[in-house]
C-alpha cells in the first residue's frame, strides 16, 4: 500500500454561503492529491496524456465527515493499494491542521487510448514506475 501526501489551502472561491468548502470542490481536491501522487511516483498525469492515454473517472464516492473552512491548510492522503489492470483505484483522506479527518472517498479511473477512446489498460511504463517505487505486491 502506497500513501502520498500533499497540502492545499481552501480558497475563498471554494467556500459557499454556509461558510464551508462547497461539497463539489472535493473532486478537485482529490485530483490535486492524485496528480501529486503520480508526480511522486516519478511521472505526471500530463506525461500519461502525452503518451496517448487518458484516464477519465468512472466511479466516485465521497463521505463528508466534518466541514473544511476558508484558509484551512488541508492534508490530502492519496492511497494506492494495488497495481492497476484495466482500471485504477485511488483512496483519499483529507485532514485539517489539527489532524482531524474531514473527508474520505475513492475514485476509479479507466485507461483509454486518447485517439480512439477505447480501453487499453495501464501502460507498461506506468506499471514499471509503480513497481520501481515498490510496496505494491498484488493487483488491486
Instruction: Check binding of 113 to a second copy (CB under 8 A).
Output: no
Contact 38, 30 (CB under 8 A): no
Task: Spot the catalytic one: 16, 59, 72, 124.
Answer: 16
Judged by CB under 8 A, the stretch of 16-24, 79-87, 94-102, 124-132 that binds a second copy is: 16-24
Give the residue among 66, 67, 89 at the shortest CA–CA distance from 15. 67
User: How many other β-carbons are positioned within 10 Å of the β-carbon of residue 106?
Assistant: 16
Give yes or no: 47 in active site: no
Judged by CB under 8 A, the stretch of 9-17, 83-91, 94-102, 130-138 that binds a second copy is: 9-17
Q: Give residues with Cβ within 8 angstroms of 137, minimum separation 6.
A: none
State which of positions 20-59 bind a second copy (CB under 8 A). 20, 22-28, 31-32, 35, 44-46, 49, 54, 56-59
The neighbouring-strand residues paired with 25 are: none
The residue among 46 and 131 lying less far from a second copy, judged by its C-beta, is 46
- The radius of gyration of the chain's CA atoms, rounded to the nearest angstrom, is 16
The residue among 18 and 138 lying less far from a second copy, judged by its C-beta, is 18
Give the whole-angstrom CA distance, residue 117 versus residue 107.
19
Residues near a second copy (CB under 8 A): 9, 11-13, 15-20, 22-28, 31-32, 35, 44-46, 49, 54, 56-64, 67, 70-71
Amino acid at each position: 500500500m502506497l500513501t502520498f501526501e500533499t497540502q492545499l489551502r481552501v480558497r475563498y472561491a471554494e467556500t459557499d454561503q454556509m461558510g464551508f468548502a462547497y461539497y463539489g470542490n472535493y473532486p478537485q481536491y482529490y485530483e490535486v492529491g492524485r496528480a501529486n501522487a503520480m508526480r511522486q511516483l516519478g511521472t505526471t498525469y500530463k506525461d500519461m496524456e502525452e503518451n496517448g492515454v487518458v484516464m477519465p473517472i468512472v466511479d466516485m464516492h465521497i463521505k463528508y465527515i466534518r466541514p473544511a473552512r476558508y484558509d484551512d491548510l488541508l492534508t490530502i492522503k492519496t492511497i494506492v493499494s494495488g497495481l492497476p489492470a484495466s482500471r485504477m483505484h485511488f483512496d483519499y483522506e483529507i485532514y485539517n491542521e489539527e489532524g482531524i479527518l474531514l473527508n474520505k472517498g475513492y475514485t476509479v479511473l479507466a485507461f483509454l487510448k486518447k485517439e480512439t477512446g477505447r480501453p487499453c489498460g495501464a501502460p507498461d511504463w506506468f506499471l514499471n514506475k509503480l513497481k520501481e517505487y515498490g510496496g505494491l505486491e498484488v493487483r488491486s
